[in-house]
Amino acid sequence: MKRFERTAVTLNDAFDCFAGQHLPAGAPATLVQQLRALASMHTVPRRQMTTLDVTRDHLVFVAHGPTKLVAFDPAGEGQIVAFQFCGDCLTLPREGLYTYRLVAIRAASLLVFEAEALRALERRAPMLNEVLARCSLAALQRTRANLVAMGRRSATERVASFLLSMREIEQVAQADGRTLTLEMTRKEIADCLGLTVETVSRQFSKLRDLGLIATPSRTQVRLSDPVRLAAQAGAFAPAA
Amino acid sequence: MKRFERTAVTLNDAFDCFAGQHLPAGAPATLVQQLRALASMHTVPRRQMTTLDVTRDHLVFVAHGPTKLVAFDPAGEGQIVAFQFCGDCLTLPREGLYTYRLVAIRAASLLVFEAEALRALERRAPMLNEVLARCSLAALQRTRANLVAMGRRSATERVASFLLSMREIEQVAQADGRTLTLEMTRKEIADCLGLTVETVSRQFSKLRDLGLIATPSRTQVRLSDPVRLAAQAGAFAPAA
DNA sequence: CGCCCTATTGATCTGAGTCAAATTATGTGG
DNA sequence: CCACATAATTTGACTCAGATCAATAGGGCG
């Protein structure tokens, strides 16, 4: 439960965080050095998207700040594919049928590897295999889970489970452990959940009327009754 | 009259097919032999699902016959995650939040590898890395594309793009190149697209009334006007 | 204070789900 | 080959969740 509070994360900090979470303990120092040399640091301001070479695949480690992976179709419509949080790894594929971009929900620090270079290193250091395989498998799992979730859930289920999963993730909760600060507008939440602003707003009102949440300010939400809230979230209550 | 099933794909046939498509040309014979020893052959009758050990991950190569990957939530509801066709590889994860099963749309032949054994072999033969990495990446791409498609598409868009993508895939098209034989019931199509039978049926009727398709029999569909059909499919018109 | 942006609330509209019934294949046994 | 049983498909009538359109109410800040 280490949290990365600092806003200015250096490459080395981020890399250490990455190494600690994803590299096996017995990794030789030279390999770690080689990897570090491949990493580049990107700081993405709130609501901005990454500006990476879209003709190449990248592996991205989210060192700090929540991000979302958005797919843009040829018509320029964006659709959220997945969320990533501090500590997650993801593959950012090159431009294809869709153009994928990583968007920072709040200011984010990313450790970026060019996939081709990584593969080359991997050939020389097979130890990396499992690391990378685990990353893509995890990403696949997340995306599949997301797909299922996206399938046929009601607006209430979406909003309730969104709030609960935010609580899981955000350690920015207040002392009472129930109040969280969403640094997102209703519009952003709506996009995340595939709903409209109005529907999200109505769901907030409904949950407030039911006494399950309170909204002291525009950005703060207090989960007054997490248990009944989880009931509203339906089958997809976060595993806690 | 049952469509004649090209039965009895042998393990060796299937493996050769796999090797041809996924193994690099320069793979040493001994490695190929080792891999072959890990493969097991599964023939899944139409509409049946795989019965694999759900406590283990598997890598599956679809040697013959279209299949779908279905996720069952704790309540037993199934949701389609992806389609695979002849030549595709996919990861079938062990039981977790969801239980994943591979369902044969028509009779299918699968080449199954136990993931742990494969990883062990991979450690000794790093050449496999790229093969497996490419597989998971492809699976991730498919799933992400599916997620986007699932996002906010109307029933008409879904059905139109479904028909067009079936044309891409099915080589069972008649001589005129426009008539295809769907070996799926409306129910199965509906599940695939996250719709109900009735809605699918209505969409077929609508497209028929518009003169874009014709339905000579229950299972046959002729794409009379693929261009206008693609227009109905919206932004997600299959590339080709 | 007035401006602009976000959020809420209300009034309709609409697409797809649901329920129910009619219609058409696909068998099956005689 | 026919009659009947059964399953698959189509169609119609109705409902409802969520989108859309439109108006109102707060902030934050110059």
Place of tokens 């981020």: A14
Place of tokens 């991000």: A67
For B78, the closest chain A residue by CA position comes to: A148
For residue B185, give Cα distances in angstroms to A151, B106, B190.
Answer: 21, 11, 9
- Please give the Cα distance from A98 to A74 (Å, whole number): 7
CB contact under 8 A, A98 and B148: yes
Q: Which nucleotide is nearest to A194 (CA to C1')?
A: D18
- Please give the Cα distance from B102 to A41 (Å, whole number): 40
- Please give the Cα distance from B73 to A235 (Å, whole number): 8
pLDDT band of A5, cuts 50, 70, 90: very low
CATH number of A11-137: 2.60.120.10
Burial B35-73 (b: 16+ CB within 10 A, else e): beeebebbbbebeebbebeeeebbbbbbbbbbbbbbbbb
Would you state the pLDDT for residue A127? 80
- Please give the Cα distance from A157 to A169 (Å, whole number): 18
Would you state the pLDDT for residue B209? 94
Residues 176-215 of chain A with CB under 7 A from strand C are 185-187, 197-198, 200-202, 204-205, 215
Q: Which strands sit side by side in the sheet containing A89-92, from one edge to the other? A: A40-44, A108-114, A58-64, A89-92
B120 touches chain A (CB under 8 A): no
Helices A127-151 & B127-151 angle (0-180, nearest 10):
20
Say if strands A58-64 and A89-92 run parallel, antiparallel, or are unpaired: antiparallel
Burial class (CB in 10 A: 0-12, 13-18, 19+), A37: exposed
- Tell which wins on pLDDT, A170 or A147: A147
State the DSSP code for B49.
B
Residue A207 has pLDDT above 90, yes or no: yes
Please, which residues have CB within 8 angstroms of residue A180's CB and are 6 or more apart in sequence? A163, A166, A167, A170, A172, A173, A174, A220, A221, A222, A223
Place of tokens 């759900």: B54
For B148, the closest chain A residue by CA position comes to: A79
- Of B110, B8, B103, B86, the C-alpha closest to B47 is B103
Range A155-233 classified under CATH 1.10.10.10: yes
Q: What is the mean pLDDT of residues A193-207?
A: 94
CA dihedral A144, A150, A151, A152 (to 10 degrees): 150
Arithmetic mean of pLDDT over chain A: 84
Q: Which nucleotide is nearest to A158 (CA to C1')?
A: D18
Among B123, B132, B147, B193, most A C-beta atoms within 10 A, so best to mutate, is B147
Residue-wise DSSP of A73-104: -TT--EEEEEEE-TT-EEEEPPSSSSEEEEEE
Lowest mean pLDDT among A57-66, A111-120, B5-14, B31-40: B5-14
Among B72, B122, B140, most A C-beta atoms within 10 A, so best to mutate, is B140
Burial B87-114 (b: 16+ CB within 10 A, else e): ebbbbbbeeeebbbbbbbbbbbbbbbbb
Would you state the pLDDT for residue B1? 37
Q: What is the mean pLDDT of residues A96-108?
A: 85
For nucleotide C26, the protein residue with its alpha carbon nearest to C1' is B1
Tell me the mean pLDDT per 10 residues along chain B, length 240. Answer: 49 90 86 92 85 92 86 74 84 88 86 91 81 85 79 88 81 65 88 91 96 91 92 67
Kindly list the residues from chain A whose CB atom is less than 8 angstroms away from the CB atom of residue B240: none
Place of tokens 């709130």: A46
- Please give the Cα distance from B212 to B230 (Å, whole number): 10
Q: How many CB atoms lie within 10 A of CB A196?
A: 14
Half-sphere exposure of residue B20: CA atoms within 13 angstroms, side-chain side: 9
Residue A117 has pLDDT above 90, yes or no: yes
Burial A113-132 (b: 16+ CB within 10 A, else e): bbbeebbebbeebeebbebb
Distance from chain centroid for Cα A83: 3
Q: What is the mean pLDDT of residues A25-41?
A: 90
Would you state the pLDDT for residue A223? 92
pLDDT band of A214, cuts 50, 70, 90: very high
Q: What is the mean pLDDT of residues A215-225?
A: 90
- Please give the Cα distance from A107 to A48 (Å, whole number): 8
What share of chain A has pLDDT > 70, as a percent?
Answer: 89
Q: What is the mean pLDDT of residues A75-83?
A: 75
CB pairs under 8 A between A and B: 107
- Please give the Cα distance from A29 to A12 (Å, whole number): 14
Q: Which amino acid is at A133?
A: A
Task: Tell me which residues of chain B, numbers 38 to 77, contact chain A at a CB-CB cutoff of 8 Å.
Answer: 71, 73-75, 77
B236 touches chain A (CB under 8 A): yes
Would you state the pLDDT for residue B238? 55
Arithmetic mean of pLDDT over chain B: 84
pLDDT digits (tens, 9 = 90+) for B164-197: 888 876 655 555 667 888 888 899 899 888 899 9
All structural domains of chain A with their residue ranges: 11-137, 155-233
B81 touches chain A (CB under 8 A): yes
For residue A19, give Cα distances in angstroms to A91, A111, A169, A187.
Answer: 17, 11, 21, 35
A130 touches chain B (CB under 8 A): yes
Residue A140 has pLDDT above 80, yes or no: yes
Q: What is the mean pLDDT of residues A3-28?
A: 77
The model's pTM: 0.78
For A93, the closest of B73, B100, B141 (CB atoms) is B141
